[in-house]
Amino acid sequence: MEDAAAPARRRSDRARAVPLLAIAALGVCALAFDVTLPLRLPGDADHAEAAAALRVRAGPRDAVQLWPPWAERARMFIRTLPVRTEEDLRAADYPDVERLWLLAMPRVPFARLSRARAALRERGAIAGEEMRFGGLSLQPWDLRGPRVLSFITDPREEHEVDYVPRQCMQVRIGPPTDAGTLEARGLGGVLHVRAGIVGERAYQVARGPVRVEVQIDGAPLATLTVPPTVPPEPGWRRIEVAAPSGEHAFAFRVSARDADRPFCLAAWTTAP
């Protein structure tokens, strides 16, 4: 006959299996994650379908924003419109882009697609209907940004600032007595100027700031100072300044004590 302590003994015996069960559960969870991860990622066919959808639906003033920004395999497939990899969608410039297509991998770990969408909403963008292509999500966003009147700098040239490719032109930095100069003609309105130091030299604090003097028809209009980047402060600096309407000659004079740095500048005007 079973004694009174037997059930407790059995429970105690069973408890001895708990550490192994815990390890087994851990192993199963880890393996389940590993094995299913590829199923959460898009395949070539998904990319091709998304690219085809963009070919059919996108207009001349559309662009694609990848999310997460590292998801650049899409560049292999999207050849009909500009691809952007901005990291801060709330503050990013999308000059002359009316509609932004957010191409995302929603099932990638830590993708945080909801944050990207929230950032777009915060800047006043309006979401369109989302499409799914396997592991890819494609959603148009009407940016409702101001209309570009003139690109003062060529938007086809790109350089990296703050680890993000920027549509900007490389300008020589000169010493204060012989500043590097970029000159172009364009329409007045709200002048947007962006500038930053390219590459790792942006983070070398001892090199000091770069000064950009903006002139319109030979007269000073504004000054933008680009200090060495000390995160979390951005290295891609910006000013907005009103320029009188009509066509003007714009000049940007770039100078610094230490001129041995690649420097990049973007400027465009929008309707007030």
Q: Which of 6, 7, 9, 31 binds other proteins (CB under 8 A)?
A: 31
Query: Binding string to other proteins for residues 150 to 179, with x set by CB under 8 A, is what?
Result: -------xxxx--xxx--------------
Nearer to other proteins, 86 or 187 (CB): 86
228 interacts with other proteins by CB under 8 A: no
Cα dist from 60 to 46, 80, 153, whole Å? 23, 9, 19
Nearer to other proteins, 41 or 190 (CB): 41
Nearer to other proteins, 154 or 178 (CB): 154
| End-to-end alpha carbon distance in the chain | 95
Q: Which of 7, 9, 17, 176 binds other proteins (CB under 8 A)?
A: 17
Q: Which of 1, 4, 8, 35 binds other proteins (CB under 8 A)?
A: 35
Alpha carbon distance 103, 110 (integer Å) = 16
Nearer to other proteins, 217 or 258 (CB): 258
Query: Binding string to other proteins for residues 69 to 98, with x set by CB under 8 A, is what?
Result: -xxxx-xx--x---x---------------
**What is the nearest approach in angstroms of other proteins to the Cβ of residue 23?**
5
CB neighbour class for 158 (10 Å; exposed up to 12, middle 13-18, buried from 19): middle
Nearest Cα residue to 228 out of 213, 209, 255: 209
Quick count: other Cβ atoms within 10 Å of Cβ 97? 21
Nearer to other proteins, 79 or 147 (CB): 79
144 interacts with other proteins by CB under 8 A: no
How big is the chain by its Cα radius of gyration, in Å? Answer: 27
**What is the nearest approach in angstroms of other proteins to the Cβ of residue 65?**
15
CB neighbour class for 227 (10 Å; exposed up to 12, middle 13-18, buried from 19): middle
Torsion of CA 160, 161, 167, 171, to 10 degrees: -90
Quick count: other Cβ atoms within 10 Å of Cβ 21? 10
Nearer to other proteins, 126 or 230 (CB): 230
2 interacts with other proteins by CB under 8 A: no
112 interacts with other proteins by CB under 8 A: yes
14 interacts with other proteins by CB under 8 A: yes
207 interacts with other proteins by CB under 8 A: no
Nearer to other proteins, 60 or 218 (CB): 60
Two structure tokens written together for 47? 């990319």
In 78-202, the DSSP E strands lie at 83-84, 99-104, 126-127, 131-133, 136-142, 148-151, 158-161, 164-167, 169-171, 180-197
Would you tell me which residues interact with other proteins (CB under 8 A)?
13-17, 19-31, 33-35, 37-38, 41-42, 68, 70-73, 75-76, 79, 83, 105, 108-112, 157-160, 163-165, 198-200, 203, 231, 262
